[in-house]
Amino acid sequence: MQTSSLKKFLKLYSKEIRELRPEILVVLIATLVLDLLFYFKARQFLGMIIGPSMMMLGLAAFLPFISSFKLLGREWNSNTIYLLLSLPVKGGSILGSKLLALLTQYLIGTVVVTTGGITLAYLLFPEPGLAETLRQAQAAGIDTRLQTIISSGALFYLMSLVGMAYVIAISFFSQLLGKLVTRFSGLVTAIVFIATFWLMNKLMTPLWQQLGKYTQLHMNQSNFSIVAFNQLVGMNTLIMLAGTIIVFIAAVLVYNHKIEL
């Protein structure tokens, strides 16, 4: 009976999701408690809602980055790296399943917090109402078609997702290099993380500069185009995706060829 690579990958992924379950639950429960608290107890302090809601969104967005250190570091701390390294799978599957699990955590957290926030705002701020808000936006020259709103929102969210994958890939790469030394592993990880971030920014700067020129050409205050905005976000996403792939491949190579016990 042949075990497919996909089946192995999915088994690793489900293991990682199980490892991340406490963090995912923390965000879900905190969001629920906060939203219910605001809805039932804090109606008279409506202005205070924005701050904590944004903090929750920040937590949901930032937690996967913190978890990336836990998810990989714990394999060494609990000696399960012996099991992982003895499995007949390569670093691409091991690190890929961890990356996908962390992105799932990001997806669940941000979607739940955002949905909760929008629902709360809709229930607590009935005036001026959605139709009126859209009319005002239309009067200001903004394209308010549902299709446009969804495509722009989705693109923007995709960019944030790729951004998260980018920092997680750098986190993996720096942790693995940190594991190559027996002493000051944490310090090496921190230095490599900062250095990789700096180096990748240097590499991507010429591309950002080209994007800046494009922005000046197509998007100024008097000529805001949603199509140009979407293209800008799309190109930003592609640049970051290229950076993510480069760093992820470097992390996989270190795992496959350098990591030992």
The answer to whether 16 and 96 have CB atoms below 8 angstroms apart is: no
Q: What x-and-dash track marks residues 169-188 binding other proteins by CB under 8 A?
A: -------------x------
DSSP state of 2: P
**What is the smallest separation between the CB atom of 70 and other proteins, expressed in angstroms?**
14
Q: Report DSSP letters for 200-257, one per residue.
A: HHHHHHHHHHHHHHHHHHH-BTTB--HHHHHHHHHHHHHHHHHHHHHHHHHHHHHHHH
Give the tokens for residue 178.
């940190």
| For other proteins, the closer CB: 35 or 75 | 75
Question: Which residue type does 47 have?
Answer: G
Determine if 85 is a binding residue for other proteins (CB under 8 A): yes
The CB-of-90 to other proteins minimum distance in angstroms stands at 9
Report in angstroms the alpha-carbon separations of 181 from 79, 176, 192, 250, 259: 17, 10, 12, 17, 10
The correct pick among 83, 111, 199, 245 for binding other proteins (CB under 8 A) is 83
Measured between alpha carbons, how far is 50 from 56 in angstroms, rounded to an integer? 10
Query: Encoding tokens for residue 196?
Result: 């990789």
One of 42, 61, 89, 253 touching other proteins (CB under 8 A): 89
From the CB of 19, what's the least distance to other proteins, in Å? 8
Residue 13's contacts (CB-CB under 8 Å, 6 or more residues apart) are: 97, 100, 101
How many residues touch other proteins (CB under 8 A)?
23
In the block, which residue shows the tokens 């010429």?
A: 206
Q: Is 66 in the site for other proteins (CB under 8 A)?
A: no
- 207 makes contact with other proteins (CB under 8 A): no
2 binds other proteins, rule: CB under 8 A? yes
**Which residue stretch of 3-11, 105-113, 139-147, 226-234 sits at the interface with other proteins (rule: CB under 8 A)?**
3-11
Contact between 210 and other proteins by CB under 8 A: the answer reads: no
Q: Contact between 51 and other proteins (CB under 8 A)?
A: no
78 in contact with other proteins (CB under 8 A): yes
Q: Which residues bind other proteins (CB under 8 A)?
A: 1-3, 7-8, 11, 15, 18-19, 78-83, 85-89, 182, 260-261
